[in-house]
Amino acid sequence: MKGRIYFKLKCLGNGWAAELKAKIGVSTILIALFLFSYGCSTKAEIDLIGMKKGILEELLRVTPENPLKVDILNELAYQESWNGGQTPLDNVNSAKKLAEQIDYKEGLVEARYILGLIYFLRGEFDKSKTSCEESLDLAKRIKYSTGEAMAYNGIARYHQVRGEYAEALKNFLKSEAICKNSADKKDKRALAGAYYGLGALYYYDPEDYKEALKYFGKYRRFGKEIGDNIIIISGDYTIGEMWQNLNQYDKAKRFFWDCVEKSNEIGLIYNTANAYEGLGDVATAQKKYEEARLYYEKSHQHFLKTENALQVAEIKKRLGGLYNKMGEDFQKKEYYKKALEYLREALKIAIDSNIPKTVEKICNEIIFAYNRLNHYKSEFLCNKLLKEIKEFLLKNEMLKQKLILDFEKAAEKERLKRTFLIIGLIGLSIVLVVVLRLSIKLRKQKVKIEDQAKRLEEALIKEKELSDHKDDLMKTVSHQYKTPLANINSTVQVLRDYLPKLTPQEIENQYNKILSNLERMAHLIDQLLKFGKIFTPAEHDLDRICRDFIEELKSNEGDKHNIEFTSSGDCGKIKVDKDYLEIILQNLVNNSIKFSSEGSKISLELFCDKESAVIKVSDNGIGIPEDYLKMPFERYHRGSNVGAVQGTGLGLAIVKRYTDLHCGDISIDSHLNAGTTVTLKIPRIACEKKGVSYE
């Protein structure tokens, strides 16, 4: 035998290590006997990845009951798993049993993972998941990172075949994160598995073949690095698939034939079947139907030997799909009948194995074939079948027998239904003549009733609006009057307590404050009168409304804050309720003033485009706590950091309601002690939302 095996022997008991390289031409048995008769009492570590099956079997025969024997059994089970049969199960179960006996936990982790792989390749997906989860649990307990990565790959494959792509992606990425920077061969094998899974995810969802090709290339490259022929061959197949989907048929065929030759050389039945399936797909795409049929039949024969239910169902589905294409191109019904033979067999296997995605694809092909045959209202029958299949996936055994329908019997029932339907239509025609006259009278009465109901509904809506406005009026009085009244009260107290000590100028300043707040209250009265009216949008210059508001605000506030206004874009005339918009601006800017330090900057920005107007109010104040941001528009709800600042918790609730009346959107971006930005977006197209309230 050609090649080399690298043996690394550690004897931890007496503290020395020996390395031996031997050509395979030397008897492997003699080398093994030398290693195990040398007097070491601890385990020997031999690099088994890439070792041929014959050499592994030869080593197994001479290896005593120690951790190395567990590793050899695991490697044999891994290599044989792709061919099906009982042998890989026997080997992995022997590995599990021995690992438990000698307390070799790392070997037990790997044995459980490989058992999960074997179950997966057989189409027993629930068993596969359970075994991989057991492997992951033990790997975590003993802190065996390589085992964790393998188990994550196994669990991800389960979610992938179930169509649960987000969960699959999460587990593949966990495996990649564990092994990404490791030089260990087992880690590289696990990393290759993660890359294969990520490539498959891009292949199926969102069908990004170029991105999938990148990951499959990495998968194949790692296989070459560690000398794992199974990974190399699988890489050839998957890269061929990608080139086929990118319509590069010559490149695809080259990779598929490489896969056939390498698989036959080392006896990998599963990979040979995959490659023939790929060649069939290429021939189908090129409309070489007879060539495609021959390749699919070869693939079918090989998959039957592996006992892989998923792949057997898949290749039968492909044969059914091929005959559907032939029927469509050659317009021959016998091809559709042949397609149904394969598709029924595929459907039964897919349902028995509980493979949702494959079931759905097979049903689509069945619907296609029955529609082309025009088989007794086939679309109705197949839609009914698909509905029952979905119920099966939820209830399994309860609907299993009901699900596997005999299509001919179902079609016969449908034909009888059509006969009864024709008889019924004749009788219905007679009845309709009699009913027609009555329906005219009933229609007139219905129109009257609907008109009365409509008037009543409009009256109720108006009553509801009036009630809502009344509530808002009272709440806003409380909210808006509190600040000026508090200011007047504090000024009066200053005059009462310190009047003799104040200069004439200081006294005048205090009186001016009282007058300013009285003017503000007068302004609020005017606003509240407007507030009580029905929402009535009209065309207004939004830029002018904002500028007038800022000028009035500056005259009241003086130099306490640096208030800026900027405008960009062509706003022109926009249909808004001017009074409601001023209340929105007043609440937002007043909040910025209340919760920002004196001298800080407060900005009002206006931007317009063809679709909407955007208003932003920003400050550098105390910000809004994260828990409050989850429900900022609830009434009477205030942030935990407001301290002694006066308020009722109604301001943002009012803003939200009036924004909704304009069919607008409002969002808040805030960070503690870093300020707040409130963004208001109002569409140019006028709208009316009746009945909007806080409730």
Report the pLDDT averaged over residues 45-54.
Answer: 76
Using the predicted structure, report yes or no on whether residue 535 has a pLDDT greater than 50: yes
Using the predicted structure, report yes or no on whether residue 423 has a pLDDT greater than 80: no
Question: What is the spatial distance between Cα 517 and Cα 528, in angstroms, rounded to a whole number?
Answer: 16
CA distances from 371 to 97, 383, 413 (A): 55, 11, 17
The candidate with the shortest Cα–Cα distance to 102, out of 29, 37, 42, 57, is 42
Q: What is residue 476's predicted lDDT score, i.e. its pLDDT?
A: 61
The helices-and-strands tally (H runs, E runs) of the chain is 25, 10
For 10, the enclosing helix (H) or strand (E) is strand 4-11
Q: How far apart are the first and last CA of the chain?
A: 83
3-state secondary structure of 371: helix
Q: How much of the chain exceeds pLDDT 90, in percent?
A: 16
Residue 428 in tokens? 């219905």
Residue 485 in tokens? 């009244």
Using the predicted structure, report yes or no on whether residue 695 has a pLDDT greater than 60: no
HEC sequence for 70-133: HHHHHHHHHHHHHHCCCHHHHHHHHHHHHHHHCCCHHHHHHHHHHHHHHHHHCCCHHHHHHHHH
Answer for the pair 560, 592: CB distance below 8 angstroms, yes or no.
no
Q: Which residue has the tokens 């105390």?
A: 622
HEC sequence for 411-457: HHHHHHHHHHHHHHHHHHHHHHHHHHHHHHHHHHHHHHHHHHHHHHH
Q: At what angle do helices 289-306 and 309-330 cross, to 10 degrees?
A: 160
The candidate with the shortest Cα–Cα distance to 14, out of 34, 42, 36, is 42
pLDDT, one tens digit per residue, over 353-405 is 777 677 777 877 887 887 777 654 454 445 555 555 555 555 444 434 444 44
Asked which of 157-171, 308-322, 359-373 is least confident by mean pLDDT, the reply is 359-373
Q: What is residue 22's predicted lDDT score, i.e. its pLDDT?
A: 38
Compute the radius of gyration of the chain from its Cα atoms: 39
Q: What is residue 82's predicted lDDT score, i.e. its pLDDT?
A: 74
pLDDT, one tens digit per residue, over 621-661 is 888 888 787 777 776 666 677 766 666 566 787 888 888 88
Q: What is residue 617's predicted lDDT score, i.e. its pLDDT?
A: 92
- Any idea what DSSP says for residue 663? T
Answer for the pair 461, 690: CB distance below 8 angstroms, yes or no.
yes
- Strands 16-23 and 4-11 turn out to be antiparallel
What single string gives the DSSP state of each residue in 244-283? Answer: HHTT-HHHHHHHHHHHHHHHHHHT-HHHHHHHHHHHHHHH
Answer for the pair 190, 146: CB distance below 8 angstroms, yes or no.
yes
Q: What is residue 356's predicted lDDT score, i.e. its pLDDT?
A: 67
HEC sequence for 132-184: HHHHHHHHHHHCCHHHHHHHHHHHHHHHHHCCCHHHHHHHHHHHHHHHCCCCC
For 661, the enclosing helix (H) or strand (E) is helix 651-661
Q: 92 vs 421, which has greater pLDDT?
A: 92
Q: What is residue 480's predicted lDDT score, i.e. its pLDDT?
A: 63
Residue 81 in tokens? 């798993």
Report the pLDDT averaged over residues 255-270.
Answer: 86
- Strands 562-568 and 601-608 turn out to be parallel
Answer for the pair 569, 609: CB distance below 8 angstroms, yes or no.
yes
Mean pLDDT of the chain: 78
Answer for the pair 476, 528: CB distance below 8 angstroms, yes or no.
yes
Buried b (16+ CB within 10 A) or exposed e, 79-88: bbbbbbeeeb
- Strands 665-671 and 601-608 turn out to be unpaired
Bridge partners of 541, per DSSP, are 573
Side-chain half-sphere of 568: how many Cα atoms within 13 Å?
A: 6
Residues 6+ apart with CB under 8 A from 391: 399, 403
User: What is the maximum alpha-carbon separation in the chain?
Assistant: 116
Q: What is residue 24's predicted lDDT score, i.e. its pLDDT?
A: 37
Q: Assign 155 a pLDDT band (cuts: 50, 70, 90).
A: very high
Bridge partners of 21, per DSSP, are 6
CA atoms 38, 44, 50, 56: torsion sign? positive
Q: What is residue 473's predicted lDDT score, i.e. its pLDDT?
A: 59
Question: What is the spatial distance between Cα 567 and Cα 353, in angstroms, rounded to a whole number?
Answer: 64
Q: What is residue 276's predicted lDDT score, i.e. its pLDDT?
A: 92
Residue 301 in tokens? 């024969």
Q: Assign 134 a pLDDT band (cuts: 50, 70, 90).
A: very high
For the chain, the helix, strand and coil percentages under 3-state DSSP, each to the nearest 5: 70, 10, 20
Which amino acid is it at 221?
Answer: R
Question: What is the spatial distance between Cα 18 and Cα 45, in angstroms, rounded to a whole number?
Answer: 11
The candidate with the shortest Cα–Cα distance to 592, out of 615, 634, 561, 635, is 561
Which amino acid is it at 536?
Answer: T
CA atoms 570, 576, 577, 583: torsion sign? negative
Q: How much of the chain exceeds pLDDT 70, in percent?
A: 77
Using the predicted structure, report yes or no on whether residue 478 has a pLDDT greater than 70: no
Residue 33 in tokens? 């006997």
Report the pLDDT averaged over residues 286-292.
Answer: 91
Question: What is the spatial distance between Cα 347 and Cα 342, in angstroms, rounded to a whole number?
Answer: 9
Bridge partners of 20, per DSSP, are 7
370 phi, psi to nearest 5 deg: -65, -35
What's the residue count for the chain?
A: 695
The candidate with the shortest Cα–Cα distance to 418, out of 378, 358, 449, 366, is 378
What burial class does residue 658 get, using C-beta atoms within 10 Å of its C-beta: 0-12 exposed, 13-18 middle, 19+ buried? buried
Q: What is residue 124's predicted lDDT score, i.e. its pLDDT?
A: 84
Q: What is residue 154's predicted lDDT score, i.e. its pLDDT?
A: 92
Question: What is the spatial distance between Cα 554 and Cα 557, in angstroms, rounded to a whole number?
Answer: 5
Q: 45 vs 263, which has greater pLDDT?
A: 263
What burial class does residue 291 get, using C-beta atoms within 10 Å of its C-beta: 0-12 exposed, 13-18 middle, 19+ buried? middle
Q: What does the angle CA 247 – CA 249 – CA 251 come to, to the nearest 5 degrees?
A: 115
Chain mean position to CA 465: 42
Using the predicted structure, report yes or no on whether residue 196 has a pLDDT greater than 90: no
Using the predicted structure, report yes or no on whether residue 16 has a pLDDT greater than 50: no
Using the predicted structure, report yes or no on whether residue 307 has a pLDDT greater than 80: no
Question: What is the spatial distance between Cα 692 and Cα 655, in angstroms, rounded to a whole number?
Answer: 12
Bridge partners of 181, per DSSP, are none
pLDDT, one tens digit per residue, over 447-463 is 888 888 788 877 777 67
The candidate with the shortest Cα–Cα distance to 350, out of 125, 114, 117, is 125
Answer for the pair 664, 683: CB distance below 8 angstroms, yes or no.
yes
The candidate with the shortest Cα–Cα distance to 346, out of 300, 395, 280, 281, is 300
